[in-house]
């Protein structure tokens, strides 16, 4: 087996991983491994913006209150305080590195999104905020000699011995390599591909959740999957996210009969929290025997919409939908995981030497329901904290003898991988999605358990191992959803 040694290993190249890498590079050598290109992560696709209390009419205290309220009583208050207090510094840091957020003259523009009581959402190039943040972070990473980047290096498993993490196994160029590291930071992103409808990129297959579970890490809140209310629903089109910021600018939701209905479900209407809007849409789809509803911006200024949401406008136009003149067909899709690998506010897990940050981690900052646009801020704030904590408590990797390392790859490929992947995703969407019950969760559990044999091997290809991780992550979600008997936040049980 190929064996490499490094001071710090960061798994994932999104906002949390790169921000952690900057801190770790202050103290030693850093490997950033990612299974696709460096920029292919959920960060790249984040449209709406980043929430931060920098506007004159806003305060850190109000941002704190809005986050707590959206979390439906399950937020960890200490984590929320860290988020809102350190957020402004992280954003100003980004700007100093060259981030170009939208401005009017020389003043930053702040917009409104659902469940925010103030205009505090910064955006870049209209609706490409994540892409701009990723651009700046990658540029900075390229300028730091101590950070080595490895694309197309697939993370297989953590190396854990006597309760300590000593790095990870990865699959690169068809070979398994063991990367021994003084500290390992998981920043592998989310779980969207566990569901048949998702706004997430193809790389979001729950790898970090499943591998951490196999290694003995504690996970928390896996029942809390956020479903975005509005993803594009059009023949031949991907489930492209239609940003919540459109509703912040005045877009309304109509059913298949072109009737507004959100006011019947919640007094905040289109600006209710995401879980409320998603369930209302599902209810209306069921009531009207349709497959989607409509998002309507045709009453808003056409030129403003084109300028404010250029990416959404151009993407929809490529599927023959002119959003300034036509209604946009939309339906909910899996979007964000609020639970994950349990950490403290410095990213520490229960395994010494292992840290986690970003969507794969659960600090408790989101509670049962994430406040819109807090995710990019979370990645910046807790990525930096995880990197700093890793520097303070590195693990001695000399205790591991490379000769004793082994991650056996099965020579037998997985039979019918496409069929297995599709089955898991359909089961999760239909039985453990936006609305759940004991009956549907039991059916999901039985269906997933019948595929348990998939989890017993390590495979020679990324695709097969992703299916294994999708299955194990799905099982964790179903188990957690079954054990939480009440409805709260994004976890809604009809029974």
How do residues 377-427 score in pLDDT, each as one tens digit?
999 999 999 999 999 987 888 777 777 777 788 888 899 999 999 999 999
Question: What span, in angstroms and rounded, lies between the C-alpha atoms of 225 and 196?
Answer: 14
DSSP string, 64-100: HHHHHHHTTT---HHHHHHHHHHHHHHHHHHHHTT--
What pLDDT sits at residue 45? 62
Q: What is the mean pLDDT of residues 195-210?
A: 95
Q: What is the mean pLDDT of residues 80-100?
A: 97
Query: pLDDT grade, residue 43 (50/70/90)?
Result: low
What pLDDT sits at residue 478? 98
Q: Any bridge partners for residue 2, and if so which? A: 177
Tell how strand 361-362 and strand 340-342 pair up.
parallel
C-alpha angle 434/436/439, rounded to 5°? 155
Residue 337, phi then psi, degrees to nearest 5: -100, 120
> Are 205 and 31 in contact, with CB atoms under 8 Å apart?
no
Instruction: Examine the pLDDT at 28 and tell me if it is beyond 90.
Output: yes
Residue 286 neighbours by CB distance under 10 Å: 10
Instruction: Examine the pLDDT at 147 and tell me if it is beyond 80.
Output: yes
Instruction: Examine the pLDDT at 205 and tell me if it is beyond 70.
Output: yes
C-alpha angle 27/89/200, rounded to 5°? 85
State pLDDT tens for residues 275-313. Answer: 899 999 999 999 999 999 999 999 999 999 999 999 999
Q: Confirm whether 229-332 and 408-483 share one CATH topology.
A: no
> Are 306 and 324 in contact, with CB atoms under 8 Å apart?
yes
Tell how strand 175-186 and strand 2-11 pair up.
parallel
Q: What is the mean pLDDT of residues 74-94?
A: 97
Q: Which of 120, 197, 247, 274 is catalytic?
A: 274
Per DSSP, the three-state class of 355 is strand
Instruction: Examine the pLDDT at 47 and tell me if it is beyond 70.
Output: no
Q: What is the mean pLDDT of the chain?
A: 94
Q: What is the mean pLDDT of residues 70-79?
A: 96
Burial of residue 343, with CB atoms counted within 10 A of its CB: 0-12 exposed, 13-18 middle, 19 or more buried: buried
Q: What is the mean pLDDT of residues 58-84?
A: 96
Looking at the chain, the whole-number percentage of residues with pLDDT higher than 70 is 98
Domain boundaries, the chain: 2-223+338-403, 229-332, 408-483
Question: What span, in angstroms and rounded, lies between the C-alpha atoms of 309 and 264?
Answer: 28
Instruction: Examine the pLDDT at 208 and tell me if it is beyond 90.
Output: yes
The dotted CATH code for 2-223+338-403 is 3.50.50.60
Q: What is the mean pLDDT of residues 433-440?
A: 97
Burial of residue 177, with CB atoms counted within 10 A of its CB: 0-12 exposed, 13-18 middle, 19 or more buried: buried
Topology (CATH level 3) of domain 408-483: Methane Monooxygenase Hydroxylase; Chain G, domain 1 (1.20.58)
Task: Kindly state the DSSP code that residue 228 receives in the 8-state scheme.
Answer: E
Question: What span, in angstroms and rounded, lies between the C-alpha atoms of 60 and 84?
Answer: 6
Q: Which residue has the tokens 């840290």?
A: 355
Question: What span, in angstroms and rounded, lies between the C-alpha atoms of 170 and 156?
Answer: 5
Q: Catalytic residue at 274?
A: yes
Q: What is the mean pLDDT of residues 44-53?
A: 79
Q: What is the mean pLDDT of residues 201-211?
A: 96
State pLDDT tens for residues 163-193. Answer: 999 999 999 988 899 999 999 999 999 999 9
56 Cβ contact list (under 8 Å, min separation 6): none
Q: What is the mean pLDDT of residues 134-139?
A: 94
Q: What is the mean pLDDT of residues 126-140?
A: 89
Per DSSP, the three-state class of 59 is coil
CATH 3.90.700.10 fits 229-332, yes or no: yes
Instruction: Examine the pLDDT at 253 and tell me if it is beyond 70.
Output: yes
């Amino acid at each position: 087996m190929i064996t490499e040694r490094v001071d710090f290993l960061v798994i994932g190249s999104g906002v949390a991983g790169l921000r952690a890498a900057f801190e770790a590079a202050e103290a030693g050598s850093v490997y950033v491994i990612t299974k696709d290109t460096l920029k292919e992560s959920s960060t790249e696709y984040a449209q709406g913006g980043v929430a931060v209390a920098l506007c004159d009419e806003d305060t850190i205290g109000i941002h704190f209150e809005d986050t707590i309220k959206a979390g439906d009583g399950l937020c960890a208050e200490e984590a929320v305080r860290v988020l809102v207090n350190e957020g402004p510094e992280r954003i100003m840091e980004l700007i100093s590195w060259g981030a170009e957020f939208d401005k009017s003259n020389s003043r930053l523009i702040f917009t409104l999104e659902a469940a925010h009581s103030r205009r505090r959402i910064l955006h870049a190039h209209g609706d490409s905020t994540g892409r701009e943040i990723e651009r700046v972070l990658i540029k900075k990473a390229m300028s730091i000699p101590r950070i080595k980047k490895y694309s197309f290096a697939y993370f297989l498993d953590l190396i854990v011995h006597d309760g300590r993490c000593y790095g990870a196994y990865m699959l690169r160029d068809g070979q398994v390599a063991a990367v021994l590291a003084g500290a390992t930071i998981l920043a592998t992103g989310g779980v969207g591909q566990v569901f048949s409808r998702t706004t997430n990129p193809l790389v979001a297959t729950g790898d970090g959740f499943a591998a951490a579970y196999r290694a003995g890490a504690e996970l928390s809140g896996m029942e809390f999957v956020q479903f975005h209310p509005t993803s594009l629903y059009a023949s031949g089109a991907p489930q492209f996210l239609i940003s919540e910021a459109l509703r912040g600018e005045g877009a309304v939701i109509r059913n298949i009969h072109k009737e507004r209905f959100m006011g019947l479900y919640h007094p905040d209407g289109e600006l209710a929290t995401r879980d409320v809007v998603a369930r209302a849409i599902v209810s209306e789809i069921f009531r009207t025997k349709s497959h989607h509803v409509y998002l309507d911006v045709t009453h808003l200024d056409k030129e403003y919409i084109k300028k404010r949401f250029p990416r959404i406008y151009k993407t929809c136009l490529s599927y023959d939908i002119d959003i300034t003149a036509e209604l946009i067909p939309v339906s909910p899709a899996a979007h964000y995981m609020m639970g994950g690998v349990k950490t403290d506010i410095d990213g520490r897990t229960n395994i010494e030497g292992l840290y986690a940050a970003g969507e794969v981690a659960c600090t408790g900052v989101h509670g049962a329901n994430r406040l819109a646009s807090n995710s990019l801020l979370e990645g910046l704030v807790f990525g930096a904290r995880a990197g700093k904590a890793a520097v303070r408590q590195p693990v001695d990797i000399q205790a591991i003898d490379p000769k004793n390392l082994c991650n056996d790859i099965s020579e037998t490929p997985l039979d019918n991988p496409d069929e297995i992947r599709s089955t898991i995703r359909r089961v999760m969407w239909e039985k453990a999605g936006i609305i759940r019950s004991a009956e549907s969760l039991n059916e999901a559990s039985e269906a997933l358990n019948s595929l348990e044999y998939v989890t017993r091997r390590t495979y020679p290809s990324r695709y097969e191992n992703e299916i294994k991780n999708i299955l194990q992550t799905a099982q964790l979600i179903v188990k957690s959803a079954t054990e939480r008997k009440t409805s709260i936040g994004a976890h809604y049980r009809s029974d």
